[in-house]
Every structure is written in structure tokens, then in C-alpha cells.
Amino acid sequence: MTNEAPFDPAAPLSAVPDSWWLEVRCGCGRTIHTPRKLLLRRHGPAARTPELVARMRCEQCGSRTAAAEWIDNPQGGAAGTDYPPPRRVPVLRED
């Protein structure tokens, strides 16, 4: 198994596989998962994830995004399930 990312996270949304989700975390502890299909519908195929993440604000506290990653399964690794841990493609790392 390789650790190589399956796509470039800075590429346009059109280059991200359809089944992936954007996981965005805030410093206050809030985490949201948005399917790539929804981002594509709202922002278009030419939108780039780093620019979208840079504009995001937490609905709970108003802070900017602390971390963001593309994941292939938002349920991956959940307690009580047989789902394997999700594959991750970092977009923005926590400081």
C-alpha cells in the first residue's frame, strides 16, 4: 500500500473523486463533513479547495478553519463499526 495521495488537494474540485468528503475542523472542536458533490454544485468544477477553506468560518464560534482534509469515508474507523479508517488527503493542517 502506498502513502501517495490519490489526487492533488490543490487541484480543482473536478479532479477530486466523486465519493470523497471534505472534513473541516475548528479550534472550538466542531467538525463538519461536506460531500464533494455538494461543494461542486455550490462552487463549480473550477473551484479549488484551499481557496474555499480559506473563506470558511465556523457557524458555532465564527473562527476560521483550523484544519481541513479530504476523506474517503466520514464513517471510517467509527467505534462499533467494521469500517476501516478513512484515507486522508490534507488540505490545511492545524498549527
More confidently predicted of 2 and 64: 64
pTM of the shown model: 0.86
- Domain ranges for the chain, please list them: 13-75+84-92
Summarised one tens digit per residue, pLDDT across range 44-85 is 999 999 999 999 999 999 999 999 999 998 888 778 878 888
| Identity at 59, one-letter amino acid code | E
pLDDT of residue 95: 58
Neighbour-count burial for 4-21, b at 16+ CB within 10 Å, e otherwise: eeeeebeeebeebeeebb
